[in-house]
Amino acid sequence: MKIRFALILLMFSLSAAFAQDEPIETDRPDQTETVATVPKGMFQVESGFTHRQAERNGRELILPETLWKYGVNDRLELRLITEFEFNKYGDSLAQGLEPVDIGIKVNLWKEQGILPEISVIVTMKLPKVASKDLAVDYVAPEIRFLFQNTITDDIDLGYNLSADWDGTSPNPIFEYTLSPNFKLNDEFSAYAEAYGYLPQQQHATHWVDGGFKYLITKNIQVDISGGYELTSHNHFHSYYESLGFSLRI
């Protein structure tokens, strides 16, 4: 056991030694995806565990959601999302693998003055690459535009606009996010965020959330976050808590 532990520490040390100087940049834990792409030739794994109380008698556990990324070049990354869920609403239970999500992120434009840095994510959920309980009927694409402005050396502002389909309806769901990020020191950072979903056939939902990130090394990060729904369903406000771990090698 001691030898195995030593080998794991050595692996992390080597990954840190050969990684680029810039610290890891992640899409989690907020809903605002970063404009940054994974450096060329590097893998990045972002994984999190989430509890969401969606209704008084309904909860969702994500155990875990993992984003797998690979840097093809300085502006392009490949993306794969796997998500295992346990959903219980009253007497109804659904559990297993959500439809697998594949896609790319492309960095389109570097920040110039007041003009933000811009990237785009294009993904597609594969409807049948999922557990029976959670499979959907149709391919579910998403297109998301990512923007970021530098405010000061320690503060930046990220915001996204997206349209995605859930695999059950031909109508898209529009989403917005707005998230200022604060660098507290070389290891700690914090964020606050407002975001919302605007479906065409249902009521819009609006949320606030916030959290902290801690860099263990330039290639290893942990995070904690939580969110609260401002809108309500049957006089109940949904909320969630999440813990995460990210690694770049």
1 part of a folded domain? no
- Report residue 57 as tokens: 């008698």
In a domain, 11, yes or no: no
| 89 is a domain residue | yes
More confident residue, 169 or 187: 187
Residue 18: inside a domain, yes or no? no
Q: What is the average per-residue pLDDT within 79-101? A: 93
Strands 92-97 and 101-109: unpaired
CB contact at 8 A, 206 and 229: yes
Report the chain's mean pLDDT, rounded to a whole number: 92
Query: Is residue 12, in this structure, part of any structural domain at all?
Result: no
pLDDT of residue 8: 47
Say which residue, 223 or 133, is predicted with more confidence: 223
pLDDT in tens, 147-169: 999 999 999 999 999 999 999 98
In a domain, 118, yes or no: yes
In the chain, the number of structural domains is: 1
pLDDT at 73 > cutoff 50: yes
pLDDT of residue 20: 57
Q: Tokens 């520490």 label which residue?
A: 9
- The pair of structure tokens assigned to 110 is 């570097």
Give percent of the chain with pLDDT exceeding 90: 81
Smallest CA-to-CA distance from 132 within 179, 93, 177 is with 93
Do the domain assignments include residue 9? Answer: no
**CATH code at position 85:** 2.40.160.40
Full domain range(s) for residue 161 = 23-248
Burial 153-180 (b: 16+ CB within 10 A, else e): eeebebbbebebbebebeebbebbbbbb
Classify residue 184: in a domain, yes or no: yes
Does the pLDDT value for residue 13 go beyond 70? no
CB 190 within 8 A of CB 212: yes
At residue 67 the predicted structure's pLDDT band, cuts being 50, 70 and 90, is very high
